[in-house]
Amino acid sequence: MIACVMLPYFAAEVARQNDPILNGMPLLLVKYGAKRSKVAAVSVEVAQASVTAGMSLSRARGLCPTAHLLSFDGDQMQTACDRLLRLLWDYTNRIELDEAAYPQTGVFYLDLGTLRDEDARYLGDQLQGLVQQQLNIEVSVGLASGKFPAYVAAAGHTGNVTLVPRHQEAAFVAPYATGLLPASKETARRLALLHIHEIGQLAALPREAVLSQFGREGKLLYALAQGLDSRPVKPHRMPETETVARWFDDPLVDRTRLDVIVHHLAEDLSLRLEERNAALHAVTVRIYLENEQVRANDLYLLRPIASSGSIARTIQQLIERIKLPKGVCGLEVCAAHLVPNIPRQLELFTHKPGRAQLIDLARVLAARHGSCFYEAAAEESESLLPERRFRLYKVDAS
């Protein structure tokens, strides 16, 4: 199940939130260039005058002379985007930002895995409520088996949560304009020339005809017109890192003392990651020696970690590989390749039945025998490839 969370006039609304005096004004956000200035985004009032993102400033001003010009603030938008992603990462770590629509419209695709319709609807309501409450921006949510029908559901029902019933995707998208398809400018022009204005019209054509007319792009558009979209959600990654460090007035030579420091650093790092709801894939350890040398080592982990115990073990592993001929003046640990940390099942219940007991047992045995314990969960239950229907997750000792 894919959720499309759509925030129309995203950049304009963010600008208004940061400066309430702009409320009610027709806004034109501009990317000023040395030679040419372009429209980055517009408010609803300016859009009604047929001004679109990407248009030249001069043409835009001709269409809407009363628009208030504002320099597009990329940092401000990035902050708003990050804030929204942090909210959405509570639900899934597979979230894709539609770069083509950004920043005019905020379009976020969430891969929610396998869900029943009523659960999806419930979750859609939650998502909409949460985003509207936190950002004070009108949000539409579309829910469907693929990105495109979810997008159409969100775009076609502003301010609502709309679920496309399974196997009815083709019928659902049919009456909508072909403008919603991700077609190139040239393809859009040719569709208009051929008087193909609705998605259903495209879907009704023979596949071979569409392919011969529109080539490779036609293959995708034809599938989308049938309501079929198996393009995966490409997860958005956090670019930043987290670094913790300790410096010593007297160089450390005692390894026991160094181990204690390592544990403290691991706890600090784990707390930082928890605040960001993140886990790390990569760790770099830098050791500063008293002869002003720096020794470093790094490791990329196959599975992300976030607990202080796992981080401490990784740091110790890295330190063991480094020769320390002199005393240690400083120790720096950097966590990189951060990914959202999906909440694991919390022990909310006082008794330990069935599954929870099984996982506890697995963790105890994993500590003894190593990581050869797995749990299987449904992944793409209707995939045509049997190896993709389920996924095996390792149960780690922790």
Which residues sit at the interface with other proteins, rule CB under 8 A? Answer: 90-91, 112-113, 115-116, 119, 123, 126, 219-220, 230-232, 274, 277, 342-346, 348-349, 351-358, 361-362, 364-365, 368-369, 372-378, 382, 384-387, 389-390, 392, 395
Residue number, 90 or 268, with CB nearest to other proteins: 90
Residue number, 261 or 358, with CB nearest to other proteins: 358
Cβ contact 8:159 at 8 Å: no
Residue number, 188 or 365, with CB nearest to other proteins: 365
Residue number, 337 or 389, with CB nearest to other proteins: 389
Residue number, 133 or 158, with CB nearest to other proteins: 133
Rounded to whole angstroms, how far apart are CA atoms 394 and 225?
A: 39
CB of 364 to other proteins, least distance (A): 8
CB of 300 to other proteins, least distance (A): 22
Task: Return the structure tokens found at 86.
Answer: 């942090």
CB of 219 to other proteins, least distance (A): 7
What contacts 1, CB < 8 A, 6 or more positions away?
A: 112, 113, 114, 115, 120, 143, 144, 145
Count the alpha carbons within 13 Å of 329 in the hemisphere toward its beta carbon.
10
CB of 348 to other proteins, least distance (A): 6
Beta-bridge mates of residue 332 = 245, 286
Rounded to whole angstroms, how far apart are CA atoms 197 and 190?
A: 11
The residue count for the chain? 398
CB of 112 to other proteins, least distance (A): 7
Angle subtended at Cα 137 by Cα 135 and Cα 139, rounded to the nearest 5 degrees: 110
CB of 3 to other proteins, least distance (A): 12
Rounded to whole angstroms, how far apart are CA atoms 261 and 248?
A: 10
Q: Assess whether the previous peptide bond of 235 is cis (omega < 30° from 0).
A: no
Residue number, 63 or 365, with CB nearest to other proteins: 365
Start-to-end CA distance of the chain, whole Å, equals 31
